[in-house]
Structure 1
Amino acid sequence: MATDIGTDTATVVYDPFSAAFQDDPFPVYKRLRDEAPVHHSEEWDFWALSRFDDVRAAARDPETYLSFEGIDIDDTAKDMSAPGFLPDIDNPRHDRLRRIVQRTFIPRTIAKLEDDVRRVVTDLVDRFAGRGEADIAQELSWPIPYAVFFDLLGLPTTGSDRENLIRRSHGLKDREPDDPRLTPLAWDALHNTKDHLAEILMERRRDPREDLLTTLVTAEVEDFGGAPYAPQRITRDSEIVGLAFVLFMAGVESTSALLSTAFRELARHPDQRRALVADPAKIPAAVEEALRYDAPLQVAGRTSTRDVELHGVTIPAGKRVLLVYGAANRDDRQFDDPDRFDVFRPQKRHLSFSEGLHGCLGAPLARLEAKVALEVALPRLGDYEISGPLQRYRSTPNMHVLDHLPISFTPTRRSA
């Protein structure tokens, strides 16, 4: 095991904006952990933490590592963040806003959605199971969270409005390789999405429904004497739109990434896949291993409030600090043989949903969707194989998501 040397020599390069790095970040992550556990990027002037214990400690210390400059490490942090953008808010405001939506995402509430999720997944699998080939990312991993989360949030689930929202959600993530700036497509998607959300929230005030948008627009903030949360006139700049917007952004991409990672790795490990089909009770462990192995959210930004001494290095106050979850989850100080995908490994804590103040609100829903997807799809797909090149989703450098995952398999008949 490497000895702590604090910061790195010039030979260690960590450029999270590089397309080449994003294609395979894990060799760089290993060098960071072993040679530069506190890495300073002179080009971008950030400090990066990559070891499990260091990343976890920082995630659980919201007084030292603030979020006000944004979780995103590209220009998303300054251009898309807004009032109500929960991951970028510190306390006490963070907890006041999180309480508004927390009840919707507690495990016992999410568990009630299992039958609905199963119907969604079964319908999607029925559409391609008879063909013997599919793009599992485009035909399953992306459609599942769109269908489930749009219904939960209260967004249109059919028709042109739904298609426009899906198109804009992809547009929000449009990026050019090696460039931290938002593209014109991303700017257009940002403004149109916020305007649409403001309109829907005003409609929910007039016509309440059993959905999360209604919860937002009818909420009262206890800390302010029970005052209504939503203003009389809701616009794209209202805090309630920022809160709805971040739920809209976060509710799909991470789940899609988790699903595609699971199906990709189970294609590469047929013995593990067959074991899950034979004993579906092991599927939740497979979901956790997929999360650990390739975290959907690879890195999150913070800002230091004081000088921090770590591994013989000082991170100065007021600097951007990157918590590299993707590296922490492959740390051999925490996990045995961490670069091996193994659904049977003894379960240990991972950091794919972070911890502490900004622990992922939607984690129970993502886990449920992944569990049901594997339960339904694996028996239908049988000994499926990857049949073409994989393609990474063009997104912010924080995320690691597949856009295309072509597979082939023996066709099966539709479910009864």
Structure 2
Amino acid sequence: MDLYYSPFDFDIQEDPYPVYARLREEAPVYRNERDDFWALSRHADILAALRDSTRFSSVNGLRIEPAFWGPDAEKFFSFVAMDPPKHTRMRGLVSRAFTQRRVQALEPRIREIARAHLAPLLDGDAFDLMEFAGRLPTDVISELVGVPEADRDRLRELGMAIMYRDEEATDLPPEALKAIGELVQYYTELTAERARERRDDLLSGLLDAAEGDDRLTPEEIVGVLILLVGAGIETTMLLLGNAWHAAWKHPAERARAFAGRVEDWIEETLRWDPPTQALARTTTEDVELHGVTIPAGGRVLLLVGSANRDPRVFPDPDRFDLDRDTGASLAFGSGRHHCLGANLGRLEARIALTELVNVIADYEIDAAAMKRVHSSNDRGFASLPTRITARR
């Protein structure tokens, strides 16, 4: 069978890992002419590219759909779609507001939110895990930013409309573009409101963040808030679902996870089935790898999901193993674009899964009814119907 890879192909999205294995061995620098991109699949090559922002630029964005790709990508991805010195300035200012202290201070509130969303789902012996997994990070990011409770469900709906597809397509449908516009308008109004009256939230912190006389503009702040919808809500939602699914598929590891190995469960899920599967870059000059030349201006997909299954780095990589050393995982990227919210994502996942384990002794997923999301760079579930055995 001819080797074929496209991030838009629904069949590949169902299980990309066999295709990744062939790419690593047969075409570590793969060319897709139809969709006009190159793909790197080996861990060493992807790690090097992530750390080489001079030759592998982020200025055209992280996704190759035309609506996201190009010089205006920073409108969607903020500082993640920038190179130095713009990236250095923006990330520095955002870091002054998005502090570890602010993240850690959220822990008691995250636990409250998790318990509040979990309680009604436990009235019976079955629920959809993704209902819990979607609401929790939406509320956490909203708490962090300062979004009123009444607006949170709508923000989640808009984020879903932007991220996921019902039909195979290489660009965004009209409803996604409309959702982007609605989000921009909402956050623009919220930023103006907070500029008039500060509160103890991230939005106020972004307004006050300064390096000498340099401050973020309102437009830059709105860009950061839009980024948080994808980077802060969707990835954590998908991580929780992927962890739940992975443990269900591996009963022995599930027992160990439920016996106190929640953090190892999270880290092995991030390696074995990461929410973010691909990150795009643009070559700034000709780059030769494995005897293949990627021309300057080439669109390159860094297949993080493949890197995390590379047997050169992870022995027996298709095995889900809580004892594994996951230190080389690229689930949160590497280099100057390493995910700024990694600690918050891990904290949310630890609290959410711990709360689930505290009240659930075991569970079964209805495999026939579960549904995956369809996305060019994210991987996870839209629905995970679960039947539980409650703890007594």
The residue aligned with 1:255 is 236
The residue aligned with 2:46 is 55
Mapped contact 1:73–1:398 kept (Cα < 8 A): no
Q: Partners of 1:176 and 1:136 in 2: how far apart?
A: 21
Q: 1:299 to 1:27 in 2, by over 3 A?
A: same
Q: Partners of 1:338 and 1:57 in 2: how far apart?
A: 20
Alignment of 1:290 with 2:281, yes or no, is no
The residue aligned with 1:7 is none
Out of 45, 57, 73, which is 1:66 matched to?
57
Alignment of 1:188 with 2:178, yes or no, is yes
Q: Partners of 1:294 and 1:313 in 2: how far apart?
A: 29
> What secondary structure, in the 3-state scheme, does the structure 1 residue paired with 2:277 have?
coil
The residue aligned with 2:201 is 211
Aligned-residue offset at 1:314: 1.3
Deviation per CA, 1:80-134, whole angstroms, max 9, x where unpaired?
A: 8344722211111111111122145454542332222222212222222231101
Mapped contact 1:68–1:303 kept (Cα < 8 A): yes
The residue aligned with 1:246 is 227
Mapped contact 2:97–2:205 kept (Cα < 8 A): no
> What secondary structure, in the 3-state scheme, does the structure 2 residue paired with 1:200 have?
helix
Q: Partners of 1:54 and 1:20 in 2: how far apart?
A: 26
> What secondary structure, in the 3-state scheme, does the structure 1 residue paired with 2:172 have?
coil
The 5 Å alignment of 1:253-332 reads 253-278=234-259, 280=260, 282-332=261-311
Q: 1:283 to 1:176 in 2, by over 3 A?
A: closer
Out of 56, 69, 74, which is 1:78 matched to?
69
Mapped contact 2:50–2:335 kept (Cα < 8 A): yes
Aligned-residue offset at 1:276: 2.5
Deviation per CA, 1:221-249, whole angstroms, max 9, x where unpaired?
A: x2xx514432xxx5xxx333222211233
Q: 111-120 or 66-75: which moved more?
A: 111-120
Q: Partners of 2:330 and 2:90 in 1: how far apart?
A: 23
> What secondary structure, in the 3-state scheme, does the structure 2 residue paired with 1:289 have?
helix
Q: Partners of 1:218 and 1:109 in 2: how far apart?
A: 14
The residue aligned with 1:123 is 116
Mapped contact 1:16–1:22 kept (Cα < 8 A): yes
Consecutive unaligned residues in structure 1, runs of 5 or more? 1-9
Aligned-residue offset at 1:173: 2.1
> What secondary structure, in the 3-state scheme, does the structure 2 residue paired with 1:117 have?
helix
Tell me which amino acid in the other structure corresponds to 2:223: G
Q: Partners of 2:345 and 2:294 in 1: how far apart?
A: 34
Q: 1:202 to 1:14 in 2, by over 3 A?
A: same
Q: Partners of 1:270 and 1:104 in 2: how far apart?
A: 41
Identity of aligned pairs, percent? 39
Tell me which amino acid in the other structure corresponds to 1:251: G
Q: Partners of 1:363 and 1:14 in 2: how far apart?
A: 29
Alignment of 1:179 with 2:169, yes or no, is yes
Aligned-residue offset at 1:270: 2.3
TM-score (norm 1): 0.89
> What secondary structure, in the 3-state scheme, does the structure 2 residue paired with 1:39 have?
strand
Mapped contact 1:82–1:239 kept (Cα < 8 A): no
Q: 1:40 to 1:24 in 2, by over 3 A?
A: same
Q: Partners of 2:73 and 2:325 in 1: how far apart?
A: 38
Deviation per CA, 1:15-52, whole angstroms, max 9, x where unpaired?
A: 11111111111111000001110111121221111000
Tell me which amino acid in the other structure corresponds to 1:34: E
> What secondary structure, in the 3-state scheme, does the structure 1 residue paired with 2:38 have?
strand
The residue aligned with 1:151 is 143
TM-score (norm 2): 0.94
Q: Partners of 1:379 and 1:324 in 2: how far apart?
A: 35
Out of 138, 150, 167, which is 2:157 matched to?
167
Mapped contact 1:18–1:177 kept (Cα < 8 A): no
> What secondary structure, in the 3-state scheme, does the structure 2 residue paired with 1:115 have?
helix
Aligned-residue offset at 1:11: 1.8
> What secondary structure, in the 3-state scheme, does the structure 2 residue paired with 1:77 have?
coil
The residue aligned with 2:319 is 340
Q: Partners of 1:382 and 1:322 in 2: how far apart?
A: 41
Q: Partners of 1:206 and 1:107 in 2: how far apart?
A: 26
Alignment of 1:97 with 2:84, yes or no, is no
Mapped contact 1:129–1:412 kept (Cα < 8 A): no
Consecutive unaligned residues in structure 2, runs of 5 or more? none
Mapped contact 1:174–1:182 kept (Cα < 8 A): no
Tell me which amino acid in the other structure corresponds to 1:101: V
The residue aligned with 1:392 is 372
The residue aligned with 1:6 is none
Q: Partners of 1:111 and 1:373 in 2: how far apart?
A: 15
Tell me which amino acid in the other structure corresponds to 2:353: L
The residue aligned with 1:142 is 134
> What secondary structure, in the 3-state scheme, does the structure 2 residue paired with 1:385 have?
strand
Mapped contact 2:253–2:320 kept (Cα < 8 A): no
Q: Partners of 2:57 and 2:326 in 1: how far apart?
A: 30
Mapped contact 1:101–1:212 kept (Cα < 8 A): no
Aligned-residue offset at 1:313: 1.4
Displaced runs of 4 or more, over 6 A: none
> What secondary structure, in the 3-state scheme, does the structure 2 residue paired with 1:129 have?
helix
Q: 1:378 to 1:20 in 2, by over 3 A?
A: same
Tell me which amino acid in the other structure corresponds to 1:143: R
Q: Partners of 1:218 and 1:107 in 2: how far apart?
A: 17
Q: Partners of 2:99 and 2:292 in 1: how far apart?
A: 39
Give the alignment's Cα RMSD to 1 decimal.
1.9
